[in-house]
Amino acid sequence: MSSDRRGNFLKVKCLDCDNEQVVFDRASSNVQCIICGKTLVKPLGGKAKITAHIDEVLK
């Protein structure tokens, strides 16, 4: 529970180009794919919305 409150790093895969990238699930600004520029994470005032495939939650 406490780890959820701090947020987690996620390994995600871009839906457009399959690039794998590590993102923070409480990002306060948009995170974009470093390869194709697709938005991977959108901030929603707290927990962010992940708009990519989540491969793994990193602890």
Min dist CB 40 to Zn ion, Å, is 8
Between 4 and 55, CB nearer to Zn ion: 55
The mark string for 10-49 relative to Zn ion (x by CB under 5 A, - otherwise) is ----x-xx-x-------------x-xx-x-----------
| Distance, CA of 47 to CA of 24 (rounded, Å) | 9
Element (H, E) at 3: helix 2-6
Give the residue ranges of the annotated binding site for Zn(2+): 14, 17, 33, 36
Q: First CA to last CA across the chain, in angstroms? A: 12
